Structure 1
Amino acid sequence: MYVQGFLIAVPEGNKEAYRATAEKAGAKFREYGVTEIVEAWEEDITDGKVTDFRMATKAEPGERIVFSWMIWPDKETADAAHSKMENDPFWENEMAEMPFDGMRMMWGGFTPLYTSGRD
């Protein structure tokens, strides 16, 4: 298992546009081999004194945090998907307009150290 995680600040008014974008991108990622995607909209976030989700994304007033992750069978499948994305016109044509500021999006890949509740 290989996990890619994402953190994004999205304007509140773009919630449905974000959901639709996530659904469209999710279908493409399924073609590439992702086994699970979770897109979670902010429900309960505490403002921190040193750091927090808002500070990390430089969230502006009226923005909500999206915490997201994708589960891949392995890093090789995720890397192959990244290569496919570079040559797939879908990303330029269908995903040109994003309902958030991509410059403040952060992401990374992770190898699980511990999981519970998965087969």
Structure 2
Amino acid sequence: MDTYVDGFLIPLATDRIDEYKAIASLAGQVWKDHGALAYYECIGDDLGAQGMVSFHQAAATAPGETVVFSWIVYPSREARDRINAAVMADPRMAPMMTPDAAMPIDCKRMAYGGFRVLVEC
């Protein structure tokens, strides 16, 4: 299976969830328009599992923050590289790409990685 996934773990202030949702909805449409197979943005709900590292710990959230767990699915790593380049060049993304953009997240605190699919059921 060549399917490839980009994954994200993002701390987000709970009072900025609606703002983040609006940005993520636009971003998801842009990724899908350029060929992503699926785009998910999930907000933390049941994060208090005992006996293991919590998502709050992993995302180093502060009081008043929750966790966004998101992923984008691509046909392959090569498609991911092509799609991401097209997304970054898409004019709809420009307002989110400026250094002074008032983003609801601190990108320096976001965890990101590309993953080869090991099991797909």
Asked whether the two chains share a fold, i.e. TM above 0.5, the reply is yes
Paired-residue identity, %: 34
Query: Partners of 1:4 and 1:48 in 2: how far apart?
Result: 27
SS in 1 for 2:92: helix
| CA deviation profile, 1:6-56 (whole Å, cap 9, x unmatched) | 100110011111111110101111122111111111111126677432222
Query: Partners of 2:50 and 2:103 in 1: how far apart?
Result: 28
Instruction: Give the aligned length.
Output: 116
Match of 1:101?
106
SS in 2 for 1:34: coil
TM-score with structure 2 setting the length: 0.84
Whether the aligned pair in 2 keeps the contact of 1:47 and 1:54 (CA below 8 Å) is: no
Q: Tell me by how many angstroms 1:115 deviates.
A: 1.6
Q: RMSD of aligned C-alpha atoms?
A: 2.0
**1:53-72 → structure 2 map (5 Å cutoff):** 53-72=55-74
Which runs of 5 or more structure 1 residues have no equivalent in the other structure? none
Q: Tell me by how many angstroms 1:66 deviates.
A: 0.7
Whether the aligned pair in 1 keeps the contact of 2:30 and 2:87 (CA below 8 Å) is: no
Which runs of 5 or more structure 2 residues have no equivalent in the other structure? none
**1:26-41 → structure 2 map (5 Å cutoff):** 26-41=28-43
